[in-house]
Every structure is written in C-alpha cells, then in structure tokens.
Amino acid sequence: MVEVTVTPQSSLADRPVQIRVRGLSPSQLVTLRAWLKDEQGECFQSRVFFRADGAGEVDPALHAALGGSYSGVWPMGLFWFLQPDTLFRRLVKRDVAGSPFRVRLEVFDGLCLGADPREQPLASCEAERWYVSPGMQRVPIREGRVRGALFLPP
C-alpha cells in the first residue's frame, strides 16, 4: 500500500517539513504533486518526477527530482515552486492569523503531466502551513501615512 506523509502535518510556513512516500516498487517512476487553493479560489501547484529507491521510497530531501517544476535535491521544493494555474497571479496570504494554507500532496504512478480528473492518486495527504503561531497578538498600526501590523508573541 502506497503512503505519502508530511511531518509535521501542521507547521509554520517558514519551517521545513519532511515529505516521504513509502510502499512503491523499487525503481518505480512516480509524480509528486502539491497544490492549494488561495483565499480567492485560485489554484497553485507544483509537480515533480521521482524514481523510487531500492526500498520503494521517495524522500525529496535525499533523492533528486528528475524534472517537472524543478530538478535536483530540494527538500522543500514542492512548496517553494508552487505556480499559479492562471498567469500573473501571486500566492499571497491575507488572513494570516485566522487560517492556514492547506497544501494537498498526491502521488501518481508514472509521469502525470496534466490535471486529468480521471487520474486517481496512489496516495494523498494534507499539510497545514500557518503564518502566525498560536497565541500571537496582531495589533494594527495607523500612524500618519504608515499602515501595517505589529505581531506580538504571547
């Protein structure tokens, strides 16, 4: 049984996570896809191709991506290389304190280039990426023409 995991499952957006795929056949070619919808409903995604090691595992921190959104060893590449489906969109988090970005990770057999809705992933999981830690206080700043927010730890 194929399994993809993100550890920790919930973390701050600037903290690294470990992504692992287990249960593959040795040397199996797979596509790892990460995607999310922003607060306006725009989809951002990255997809990368890997060949499983002799134990049937893929770890982006150890194994080089063969192509896709990036190539080489990038432990956080699936998050860093998220691209919009609609040109000229930027991934911006407006409600930093109220909700996280929920990034969906999926593993597909072979090279999966398109977003064919009939293609079913071998495995999937979800990671929460928070922009503010629990207990953080947000204080709006309005001084003259200056606008901003001050974030105070608990």
Does the N-terminal peptide bond of residue 8 adopt cis geometry, omega within 30 degrees of 0?
Answer: yes
Read off the tokens for 140. Answer: 């709006």
**Number of compact structural domains in the chain:** 1
Binning pLDDT at 50, 70 and 90, where does residue 117 land? low
Answer for the pair 131, 96: CB distance below 8 angstroms, yes or no: yes
Show the domain range for 115: 3-152
Taking the whole predicted model, whether its pTM rises above 0.85 is answered as: yes
116: domain CATH number? 2.60.40.2240
Note the pLDDT of residue 55. Answer: 97
Provide the mean pLDDT of the chain: 94
